[in-house]
Amino acid sequence: MGRLMSSEKARKRELRHAVEEFNATYSALLDNQEALTDWPRFFTEDALYVVLSQENYDAGMPAGIMYAEGQKMMHDRAVAIAETQMFSPHHTLHVVSNTRICELQGANSFTSQSNFILLRTLLEEKTKVHMAGMYDDVIVSTDQGLLLQQRKVIYQTMEIDRDLVYPI
């Protein structure tokens, strides 16, 4: 029994490191807004992406302020933002930490949670916390590496900007 426990701990430790690397790459892409159309590549073809409040998440209510089902829907959103929308010039910085592997679901799937803070700086203004919360993920290991089967972005920020358009 002890061996099984230690091998599960070792697997979770290995996966945690892989998820931290994954989230670092994901964050860098989002912070480089010119590469936004590559955002869907972090997801499986049939993935779910939703941004919802902590309150809705706790109540089991799936309604969110941003929702995309599948890579095609994510791609449409990314292209619309990149090519047709106009926003004030700004910089973003995603800080992701405290990654936990919650549950191993077979050989190629697991759940993970990570905390995040999204900072945003508008030109000639102070940097502000744009959003803070948690990623609640279902991740699959594929031949292409880790991919998100589901990412719930659960925000704990009580007041959010009306101009939330970019993926978190």
Ordered by where they begin, the domains of the chain are: 2-155 (3.10.450.50)
Report the pLDDT value the prediction gives residue 33, as an integer from 0 to 100.
77
Report the pLDDT value the prediction gives residue 90, as an integer from 0 to 100.
82
Report the pLDDT value the prediction gives residue 1, as an integer from 0 to 100.
47
> Is there a contact between 56 and 63 (Cβ–Cβ < 8 Å)?
yes
d(C-alpha 140, C-alpha 78), whole Å: 23
> Is there a contact between 168 and 131 (Cβ–Cβ < 8 Å)?
yes
> Is there a contact between 81 and 36 (Cβ–Cβ < 8 Å)?
yes
Stated length of the chain: 168
Type of residue found at 47: A
User: Long-range contacts of range 25-34, CB-CB < 8 Å, 24 or more positions apart?
Assistant: 26/94, 27/94, 27/95, 27/96, 30/92, 30/94, 30/166, 30/167, 30/168, 31/91, 31/92, 31/93, 31/94, 33/82, 33/92, 33/166, 34/82
Written as six digits, the tokens of 52 are 């919802």
Report the pLDDT value the prediction gives residue 138, as an integer from 0 to 100.
98
Please tell me the pTM assigned to this model. Answer: 0.91
Task: List the chain residues with pLDDT less than 70.
Answer: 1-5, 84-87, 160-164
30: closest CA among 48, 12, 49? 49
